[in-house]
Amino acid sequence: MSNNNINRRNFLKSSLASATVLTFSNSIFSQTQTESPIASTKYGKVIGYIDNNVSCFKGIRYGADTSTVRFQAPKVPEKWSDIKDATKYGNSSPQGGRGENQSEDCLFLNVFTPKLRDSGKRPVMFYIHGGAYANGSGSSPLYDGVRLCNRGNVVVVSINHRLNAFGYLYLARFGGAEFADSGNVGQLDIILALQWVKENIAEFGGDPNNVMVFGQSGGGAKIATLMAMPSAKGLFHKAATMSGQQVTACGPWNGTLRTKAILEALKINNVQEIRTIPFQKIVEVLNTKDPVLSFGGVNFAPALDEKNLLRHPFYPNAPEQSNNIPMIIGNTHDETRAFLGGDESNFKVTWEELPEKLIPNMRVDIKPEEVIEKYRKLYPNLTASDLLFKITTASRSWRGAIIEAEERAKSGFPAFAYQLDWKTTKDGGKFGAPHASDIQLVFDNIQKPGATAEGPTAQKMADIMSETFIKFAKTGNPNNKQIPLWKPYTMAKRETMVFDVPAHLENDPRGEERKIFEKVPYIQAGS
């Protein structure tokens, strides 16, 4: 696992939400049905619990145990006749460095709803977690949907799905039909969860014809990819990507090189062996050096497999199948302070050190000395450390979002672009507005474990962002009384909502920074 991922997790200090397990036996419950809500899904009944007048269901199975279909498309679950406990989160996908329950039996989702079976036709806010394509789960307290439900009368769904090698190891060139989907089974899991929503969400008071997918970091990238996958068409109706983009997918040859590296690390000669070895052995080799990139362990990403993904998500243009889907595309002002800020030396960089610091962290091939010179003219009062974070954010994290916004504008179906400028006071404010800081604000969960939003205007910022996303989920238009008029992004003006207190619309924020990098081709890391 890369140091970047470790640093990010250290900053976020994310942890699992605790859940009170209700003791029951078959149909005899210790609480009344009012206190312990029961819902009927296509596959069987589940019992949840009430939190602040919201019915919460955690760990609902939407797919069968994937150990039986390792590297293959997911299967729907078997029906059950008893009432399943849905008061605690389900297993997360196997991954490195995390303490939560891990298992290949990981296709579970969570539903938060104001009311069951009332024909409410509430908008559905379907959240996909970040963690690149390598780690994470839908179990973080920051994704708890109770406050969104109460604030906006919406239904909130979060999911687990297969990650890293289990979800994205491209084995198609090593075997037969059983490996044909291997490079995208994590995406197929998400599609199966969306199909579950289509078939079951009315039971939970949601509208299957009004589903908004939203996700941060890797979650946003997964959404950008879904927008180009034919099998996802029609399963969601609005999309919001938060600091997460997927402009280009992993090509088949690079995917093959990465698979070779994993197989060699496992000392496997017959590819069929990888279908049956203990999953822990696969987890042990995820840190294997990536044979394509100059940094980190093996990079996993959706594969351009010509079966499930027929084109790059946002190259050479926005995917036509999703052009009519209203879209929000956003990033934070100080993205890479979350990635690089875990190393205290990055706050003490000298001008002599800066070029070498930039080379591995810009992720685009451009002369660092030239970039530094231009930035020093733009920002003469900033330190070398300040420029390290600013330059890497513009070249690495922000660039893909700009490209996606541009392609949507060119398509004639422009997206709503945002930049989160609001800065937390946590740790003396040294992290600014880092990667992932918009999650807690959109969910209005700034008091939850793992939240980093601190300061006198933190709740106001949460009010602004949560109300805006709720309005978008309901109507496809984010405009509401909390913000000034938000105009879609055009090539002429590059309209961008700057989320701060107060929020304001700005044309082409950081435009001079954008121009520095636009002459350099952008190929997403891992493609």
Q: Which of 435, 437, 466, 513 is catalytic?
A: 435
What pLDDT, in 10s, does the model give residues 408-424? 999 999 999 999 999 99
Average pLDDT over residues 288-295: 89
The yes-or-no answer on residue 335 being catalytic is yes
Selection from 84, 43, 82 nearest residue 64 by Cα = 43
Q: 293 with 254: CB under 8 angstroms?
A: no
Q: Helices 185-200 and 218-226, interaxial angle, to 10°?
A: 80
If you ran DSSP here, which 8-state letter would residue 158 be given? E
The yes-or-no answer on residue 385 being catalytic is no
Q: pLDDT confidence of 295, banded at 50, 70, 90?
A: confident
Q: Which of 217, 231, 322, 395 is catalytic?
A: 217
Q: Which CATH number is 1-335+398-527 given?
A: 3.40.50.1820
Say yes or no to pLDDT of 313 above 80. Answer: yes
Token reading at 125: 């806010």
CA distances from 47 to 19, 239, 394 (A): 13, 30, 47
Question: What is the spatial distance between Cα 172 and Cα 228, in angstroms, rounded to a whole number?
Answer: 20
For residue 406, give every residue at least 6 positions away whose Cβ sits within 8 Å of its Cβ, in sequence order, or none: 489, 491
**Does residue 316 have a cis bond before it (omega within 30 degrees)?**
yes
The yes-or-no answer on residue 217 being catalytic is yes
Q: 56 with 139: CB under 8 angstroms?
A: no
Q: pLDDT confidence of 99, banded at 50, 70, 90?
A: low
Domain ranges of the chain: 1-335+398-527
Selection from 382, 412, 171, 123 nearest residue 272 by Cα = 171
Tell me the one-letter amino acid at 218.
G
Token reading at 443: 């969910």
46 sits in which H/E element: strand 45-47
For residue 517, give every residue at least 6 positions away whose Cβ sits within 8 Å of its Cβ, in sequence order, or none: 364, 366, 394, 395, 399
Say yes or no to pLDDT of 502 above 80. Answer: yes
What pLDDT, in 10s, does the model give residues 223-272? 999 999 999 999 999 999 999 999 999 999 999 999 999 999 999 989 99
**Does residue 509 have a cis bond before it (omega within 30 degrees)?**
no
Question: What is the spatial distance between Cα 434 and Cα 215, in angstroms, rounded to a whole number?
Answer: 16
3-state secondary structure at position 463:
helix
Task: Give residue for tokens 């008893």.
Answer: 82
Q: Comparing 5-19, 410-424, 426-440, which segment has the lowest mean pLDDT?
A: 5-19
Cross-strand partners of 240: 214, 328
Q: Which of 104, 139, 335, 513 is catalytic?
A: 335
